Amino acid sequence: MLIRYRGREGMLAWAFHRISGVAIWVFVIFHVIDIFLSGANPSAYDTVLQIYASPIGRMGETLLGAALLYHALNGLRIIVMDFWPVFTRYHRQLWYLNWALFAIVGLPVAFVILKPIFGG
């Protein structure tokens, strides 16, 4: 359904870039607060990190990694098209290349992060 929308891949690439960017914003706020606690209140920091290491925390961590990796790869795609306009002709192919790299890099990382949930 989404892929048949008039904007197609270019529009989805843009929407995901925006959504992942805002998601990373939210995490940066949390992350600066938690790392500040490592100095101001070390035991509170340890508690927060235990939440990050919980099964739900690990799922959030995986989603954060996915948002970060997508935003990084698509950001490169934008830069490539901005500075070498000839690549705008292949913006779809570049987007699919992004997803290939996303899977190749992201799946092993997700496996490592999520493994402890299943007792690994």
Footprint of another protein (CB under 8 A): 10, 13-14, 17-18, 21-22, 24-25, 28-29, 32-33, 35-40, 42-43, 45-46, 49-50, 52-53, 57-58, 61, 65, 68-69, 72, 74-79, 81-82, 85, 88, 91, 109, 112-113, 116
Please report how close the Cβ of residue 97 comes to another protein at its closest, in angstroms. Answer: 14
Q: Which is nearer to another protein, 1 or 43 (CB)?
A: 43
Q: Is 27 helix (H, G, I), strand (E, B) or coil?
A: helix
Please report how close the Cβ of residue 62 comes to another protein at its closest, in angstroms. Answer: 9
Q: Which is nearer to another protein, 4 or 120 (CB)?
A: 120
Please report how close the Cβ of residue 104 comes to another protein at its closest, in angstroms. Answer: 14
Please report how close the Cβ of residue 4 comes to another protein at its closest, in angstroms. Answer: 18
**Contact (Cβ atoms closer than 8 angstroms) between residue 106 and residue 66:** yes
**Cα of 81 vs its chain's centroid, Å:** 21
Q: Which is nearer to another protein, 4 or 110 (CB)?
A: 110
**Contact (Cβ atoms closer than 8 angstroms) between residue 55 and residue 114:** no
**Contact (Cβ atoms closer than 8 angstroms) between residue 65 and residue 110:** yes
CA atoms lying within 13 Å on the CB side of residue 17: 15
How far is 17 from 20, CA to CA, in rounded Å? 5
